[in-house]
Structure 1
Amino acid sequence: MPKPWMLQESTYEEQQQAALKRYEARSGERKKTAMRMQASNPVEAASPDRIAVREAAIDPRDGLGLERVIGNDDLFPVSYLEGGLQASKSVCRIEVRDHIGRVIGYGTGFLVSPCLLLTNNHVLPHEDAALYSVAQLNYELDLNFKQRQMKSFNFVPKRLFLTDPELDFTLVAVDEEASDGTPLNDFGYLELYSEPGKILEGEYVSIIQHPQGAPKMVAIRENRVIDMLEHFIHYSTDTQAGSSGSPVFNDQWMVAALHHAGVPDPNDSSVFIANEGVRISSILQKIEQKRAELNAEQRQLVDQMVNHLDISGQPAETFEELALEWYEHSTGYDPDFLGANYKIPHPALRSDMEEDIAPLIDGGRVLNYTHFSVVMRKSRQLAFYTAVNIDGSQLRDIGRNDRWLFDPRMDRKYQCGPPVYEHPDIDRGHLVRRRDPVWGERAAEANEDTFHFTNAAPQHKKLNQQIWLGLEDYILRNTDEHNLKVSVFTGPVLREDDIEYRGVRIPAEFWKVAVMVKTDGKLSATAYLLSQKSFIDDLEFAFGEYKTYQVPILQIEELTGLGFGELKQHDPLHGQRAVVQWVVNGPGDIVL
């Protein structure tokens, strides 16, 4: 079996010997720790600061969370297993290849942002190693012990490559699409928290790994932390060759360390007496020290993966506002975008809905951004609708930012902010898709503008990641291939009986109207309806099917109270009764 560190085998052996030295140097401290642990529990033995962080990582609704930490209870809710399954999606096998494509070893890695992966330095020691190697996600067995369909993603070290031999980590950018077109965001990512204290001496950890390059496996909780060092932790978890680069989890499936080496028995190098992981807090601190070496885009990529905890037990993020000057040249949606003969105005609101439009501080009612506009509904803190212009001839490829912003032009009480999105199954779903307005000279500003809370709506993570069964990709691909211009309106269906969570009623359905001039000069206006009702029957968010439908524009008008005027005359479904007409399972089902 080729070793995962074959490119740097001597470096890995050095890591083992360094781990052994740290282990031997702490033998006296471990004895004291063992005696202290016999007389107390992990919480009592820890410092107040570490206790505060550890408690902050436990959801306040988990009544037995602290009992498990101190060893008084081993009962878990069934959702613990679901949490592990969710965490496992972001863990991959790294197939290490040389410059002519030969496989020379395997390692493990895991996604830590929408486009970044963390592994060991001795797995990917330099940019060339990353350039030739691949990240293989979904390499695992199903319930019938049959291999699932593996998805291979290339690394993009030119975009970002940070490595450190001392802490034995490599952070590298990953291509956002697999070789077969599967989006990387289908697999989510593991959030990293900067505070030390996410795991305590005496606690149990779990590791999701690809031992010896095998399909994904887990060493679950039969593994105790036996020592805490400044930058490393020692634990008794079973791991094998190929597990280098695996995430080490606490009971909340929060990454506490990066597994990197075994501690060899000084009398028999083939036997390991412990394992060693690099603390995530130390890795993030080192990355911060390297931040000055990065360009602006790379700093944004790094910033979006770092999270923080506060003593209330909830993830604490800092949400910024841009200066008002940022918006001075934002003209928003252009009704004349499709040409002088095809004026497409904003939708009209039903008269009884006018008073529910959220006002801007200057008295206006439309939030204009770069190439798109938003009109907010104050009673729901969500958009009545969004309107965007897409120019397929000028599309630009700009990386994600994921820095979510409040809009200073509107009172925050009208903007659905962080609390509702702290639920692990709820995503900030873009209404105006991030890529749609990113064209022309102001593409970078448009990209940033899409990350306003005014452009978000609570969506179940599975719905958001599936992205409307490829509908938006289909529309954007057509504009790109034919250099067409498209105007798109999108919004939630806001019903009075929508389920409420943390003061926000979560929409069960979303709609979209796409307007374009076809190559024959005729206008085409098509409407779509997507439902996540089966996801949100209760706040447990049981998984179920959802469907996308092509419907008459008239049906969207009746559901939303919006008026699209003469667009109905250009709808291929116009004149049909206003009920669901076509189930859209793929682009071929769309009637233009």
Structure 2
Amino acid sequence: MYQPQELQQIVEQRLEQTRRQRLHSHTEIQQGRPDLAEDDPQRRARFEAHMSGDAPVNAEKVWGDADFVDAVFLLVGSRAARAVARIVTDAGRTPLGTGFLVSPRVLITNNHVLEDAASAGDAWVQFNYELDETFTPRPPDVYALRPDLYFHAVSWQDLDFTLVAVGERLQGTGSLSAQGYCPLSDRPDKHAKGATVNIVQHPGGDYKKLVLRGNRIVARTDKVLHYEADTEGGSSGSPVFNDAWEVVALHHWGSPHLSTALPDGQPLGTLVNEGVRISAIVESLRAARDHLPNPYLDEVLAASAQSRPQGSAASPPAMETLPSPAPVEARLSVPIEITVRLGTPGPVQTGPAPTAPSGPERVRVDRNYGNRPGFDGAFLPGLGVPLADIVAPVQRQIAPLLAGPSSGLLSYQHFSVVMNGGRRLAFLTATNIDGATYIPIDRSTGQPAAEAAEGDQWFEDTRIDPALTVTQPFYSANSRTFDRGHLTRRSDPTWGTPEKAVRANADTFHFTNCSPQHWLFNESVKYWQGVERHYLEFGATLDRSRLSVLQGPVFAPDDPVYTDTAGRDLQVPVQFWKLVLRVQNGVPQATALLVSQRDLLPLPRKPVLPGGDGSPPDVTTFLTSVAHLQDQTGLNFTSLAPYDTFRPPPAIPHAEGAPLRAITSWADLP
């Protein structure tokens, strides 16, 4: 099983090995000489001859900044992309990563995605999980995996790949043969340092995405390639193609650079990634065939003789009909060194090398929900928060659980959620925040890190009926309007021990903690997002280092209706509320806020430019009274009302006369 500590050791061991190589590549690329990044003249010449002559797609300019390729580049790329699939578990609920067909019946992915035959047997593969030309989701073709027929793995510490047979179709109307396959080839002229690569992936378990060209190979060992490209959790197992759409690597790691500039000050990209070289995988498979022959493995190696992706647009060579083999599992651990996602090229350093632990790009959630303490109502000294009393007025509307307390309370690490069964969204989330023991979590590793970033892989909670939760089909159907918005923020509950912080980070990515938020909402609501940090940093007394935050949507009868991919309607909340509880200098305080996304809803998704046309519109966050929040939500906040910090303005320019005060600066917060 993947171990962060062991991975950290590998990173430290390999850091110095490729430092100079990556520095050389970056220097040549930055100075407009990417061809000179390849320091092997024979490889450079073979690669250039192949790409401009006998490659399936001829690149008219192999080096430099010009993006001249034959128009057939798009056709062949589309054919190659058909072989790429999303790997899921929990009957399609939880995305694990990406994989692709390497023969008519065999799929490859990372070993850290499918670690053993048992995990492969529980997984499905979804082909055509993508948007069509009208940005409408295509109905995927879903297949079971059959590790009982063929399973071959090399551990994540080594070459990190798993081959598994694809079984019967579970959903859809297509055929497996129509997906084609991407053969594995060990020919020595498929890549060179300085050349561009293309990645087809399901980042974060989302629809199929392509990262095209502009992504340069910067380093190479006998086993791996390092390249710069955009990948996220869920990209593990993606094919890395050259510009002729030949697979050159199996993507498996990604994390930030150790520095962000060359010695002369030129800026570097923020990510470098690693993929296992296909030539190393083919060599390993040939050695495995010598020890344990298998018809499925023979099929993969026979397909490797092909020089282009095979599919319906260009019929593959005839394959001999293979007999159904006896179940075979071959697990191979090759005694080799592997480099994993290392730091950026930079000057040779003296003293201990800085480290940046990397990790497989797969988010993991602890399904042992019995170890979650949930929200603590006595977390703040002198200010009790009786959650059961707060939700008592809506108790009959709370979604029942398949497993858990009859109250419907879903406990997570340092926060709890109560679901509205009719609206399929949370009535509220209640979170304890301890600034004194806060630990930021890095999204690409899921482990403690110096900086935290947002993530995109979401999970269903098995304790509640999926029909009572808004899940991915809604966000897929409405991706041009809505993002999957956290209620309890990802960074709020990540405190305590590293183990608890990691668990809390993953817990916030449950759909129960999610509400449809307009895509501009997170970019434009400054005070709404920052209020927790403001109060944690406002002063240094011990009692200011803790907060309890209650928040959720305001369910109004006139909320607009949107439809998911299954034709099911959802009333999307327009307003959100937040109640920040704290004790300052021994005095309990409760600050209530309201914000609306109504004015954003007509705006379709498009790039947001800094300044000028395309800038995100202002969205006003209002301070309000605890009593008004109670009226809006139907919840019972009477025990917290005595601590209300709201002071209404002298005149309230609001049509309904509601107690609201706009926040225009941090000084407006009480």
Q: Write the mapping of 1:259-274 to structure 2, written as runs, cut at 5 A.
A: none
Q: Given residue 366 of structure 1, which amino acid in structure 2 is its aligned partner?
A: L
Give the Cα–Cα distance (whole angstroms) in 1 for the partners of residues 439 and 39 of structure 2: 45
CA shift at 1:61, angstroms? 2.9
Change (3 A) 1:468 1:347: farther
Equivalent residue for 1:494, pick from 552, 555, 561: 555
Equivalent residue for 2:534, pick from 474, 488, 500: 474
Q: What SS does structure 2 have at the residue aligned with 1:373?
A: strand
CA shift at 1:425, angstroms? 4.3
- State the match for 2:154 in structure 1: none
Change (3 A) 1:525 1:43: same
Q: What SS does structure 2 have at the residue aligned with 1:433?
A: coil
Equivalent residue for 1:562, pick from 619, 635, 644: 635
Equivalent residue for 1:415, pick from 452, 458, 469: 469
Equivalent residue for 1:522, pick from 587, 591, 615: 587
Change (3 A) 1:109 1:49: closer
Q: What SS does structure 2 have at the residue aligned with 1:573?
A: coil
Cα-to-partner distance string for 1:17-70 (whole Å, 9 max, x where unaligned): 343122255079869xxxxx999x94899589559999764426359x9xxxxx
CA shift at 1:444, angstroms? 2.4
> Contact 1:335–1:343 at 8 Å: present in 2 too?
yes
Give the Cα–Cα distance (whole angstroms) in 1 for the partners of residues 197 and 238 of structure 2: 24
Change (3 A) 1:19 1:349: same
Give the Cα–Cα distance (whole angstroms) in 2 for the partners of residues 28 and 569 of structure 1: 74
CA shift at 1:358, angstroms? 0.5
Change (3 A) 1:330 1:4: same
Equivalent residue for 1:59, pick from 122, 126, 132: 132
> Contact 1:109–1:245 at 8 Å: present in 2 too?
no
- State the match for 1:404 in structure 2: 458
Q: Given residue 393 of structure 1, which amino acid in structure 2 is its aligned partner?
A: A
- State the match for 1:433 in structure 2: 489
Equivalent residue for 2:400, pick from 359, 379, 389: 359
Equivalent residue for 1:453, pick from 490, 494, 511: 511
Change (3 A) 1:500 1:544: farther
Give the Cα–Cα distance (whole angstroms) in 2 for the partners of residues 348 and 439 of structure 1: 27
Q: What SS does structure 2 have at the residue aligned with 1:407?
A: coil
> Contact 2:197–2:217 at 8 Å: present in 1 too?
no
Change (3 A) 1:336 1:584: same
Matched, 1:584 2:663: yes
- State the match for 1:303 in structure 2: 362
Give 5+ residue unaligned stretches, structure 2.
1-26, 60-69, 86-99, 101-126, 139-193, 205-210, 250-265, 272-308, 310-335, 343-355, 447-454, 607-613
CA shift at 1:108, angstroms? 13
Change (3 A) 1:530 1:16: farther
Q: Given residue 338 of structure 1, which amino acid in structure 2 is its aligned partner?
A: L
CA shift at 1:230, angstroms? 4.1
> Contact 1:119–1:246 at 8 Å: present in 2 too?
no
Equivalent residue for 1:170, pick from 210, 227, 232: 227
Q: Given residue 229 of structure 1, which amino acid in structure 2 is its aligned partner?
A: E
> Contact 1:484–1:517 at 8 Å: present in 2 too?
no
> Contact 1:389–1:486 at 8 Å: present in 2 too?
yes
Matched, 1:22 2:50: yes
Structure 1 vs Structure 2 CA RMSD: 5.2
Give the Cα–Cα distance (whole angstroms) in 2 for the partners of residues 466 and 109 of structure 1: 33
Cα-to-partner distance string for 1:357-384 (whole Å, 9 max, x where unaligned): 0011243311111211111000111110
Q: Write the mapping of 1:324-363 to structure 2, written as runs, cut at 5 A.
A: 326-339=368-381, 341-346=382-387, 348=389, 353-361=394-402, 362=404, 363=406
Q: What SS does structure 2 have at the residue aligned with 1:530?
A: strand
Change (3 A) 1:44 1:492: closer
- State the match for 2:434 in structure 1: 391
Matched, 1:484 2:545: yes
> Contact 2:393–2:635 at 8 Å: present in 1 too?
no
Give the Cα–Cα distance (whole angstroms) in 2 for the partners of residues 418 and 290 of structure 1: 39
Give the Cα–Cα distance (whole angstroms) in 2 for the partners of residues 405 and 420 of structure 1: 14
Change (3 A) 1:292 1:562: farther
Change (3 A) 1:300 1:413: farther
Change (3 A) 1:191 1:395: closer
Change (3 A) 1:243 1:62: farther
- State the match for 2:141 in structure 1: none
Equivalent residue for 1:547, pick from 620, 642, 659: 620
Q: Write the mapping of 1:118-129 to structure 2, written as runs, cut at 5 A.
A: 119-122=215-218
> Contact 1:526–1:572 at 8 Å: present in 2 too?
yes
Matched, 1:571 2:571: no
- State the match for 1:209 in structure 2: none
Cα-to-partner distance string for 1:98-140 (whole Å, 9 max, x where unaligned): xxxxxxx9x9999x989xx995343xx5xxxxxxxxxxxxxxx
Q: Given residue 356 of structure 1, which amino acid in structure 2 is its aligned partner?
A: Q
Change (3 A) 1:26 1:372: same
- State the match for 2:330 in structure 1: none
Give the Cα–Cα distance (whole angstroms) in 2 for the partners of residues 587 and 476 of structure 1: 13
Give the Cα–Cα distance (whole angstroms) in 1 for the partners of residues 574 and 232 of structure 2: 25
Give 5+ residue unaligned stretches, structure 1.
32-36, 66-104, 126-162, 174-187, 200-224, 233-241, 248-278, 280-288, 305-319
Change (3 A) 1:62 1:371: closer
Give the Cα–Cα distance (whole angstroms) in 1 for the partners of residues 236 and 340 of structure 2: 22
Give the Cα–Cα distance (whole angstroms) in 2 for the partners of residues 540 and 62 of structure 1: 12
Give the Cα–Cα distance (whole angstroms) in 1 for the partners of residues 247 and 663 of structure 2: 55
CA shift at 1:392, angstroms? 1.9
Q: What SS does structure 2 have at the residue aligned with 1:569?
A: helix
Give the Cα–Cα distance (whole angstroms) in 1 for the partners of residues 667 and 71 of structure 2: 66
Q: What SS does structure 2 have at the residue aligned with 1:303?
A: coil
Change (3 A) 1:366 1:18: same
Give the Cα–Cα distance (whole angstroms) in 2 for the partners of residues 352 and 198 of structure 1: 57
Equivalent residue for 2:570, pick from 493, 501, 504: 504
Instruction: State the identity %.
Output: 25
Q: What SS does structure 1 have at the residue aligned with 2:550?
A: strand
> Contact 2:553–2:576 at 8 Å: present in 1 too?
yes
Matched, 1:229 2:246: yes
Q: Write the mapping of 1:105-120 to structure 2, written as runs, cut at 5 A.
A: 119-120=215-216
Choose 4-13 or 551-560, whichever is displaced more: 4-13
CA shift at 1:432, angstroms? 0.9
> Contact 1:119–1:244 at 8 Å: present in 2 too?
no
Q: Given residue 563 of structure 1, which amino acid in structure 2 is its aligned partner?
A: N
Q: What SS does structure 2 have at the residue aligned with 1:344?
A: coil
> Contact 2:197–2:241 at 8 Å: present in 1 too?
no
Equivalent residues, number = 395
Q: What SS does structure 1 have at the residue aligned with 2:558?
A: coil
Cα-to-partner distance string for 1:51-103 (whole Å, 9 max, x where unaligned): 9999764426359x9xxxxxxxxxxxxxxxxxxxxxxxxxxxxxxxxxxxxxx
- State the match for 1:153 in structure 2: none
Change (3 A) 1:12 1:586: farther
Matched, 1:4 2:45: no
* Larger relative contact order (Cα-Cα within 8 Å, sequence gap ≥ 6): 2
Change (3 A) 1:571 1:347: farther
Give the Cα–Cα distance (whole angstroms) in 1 for the partners of residues 602 and 56 of structure 2: 56
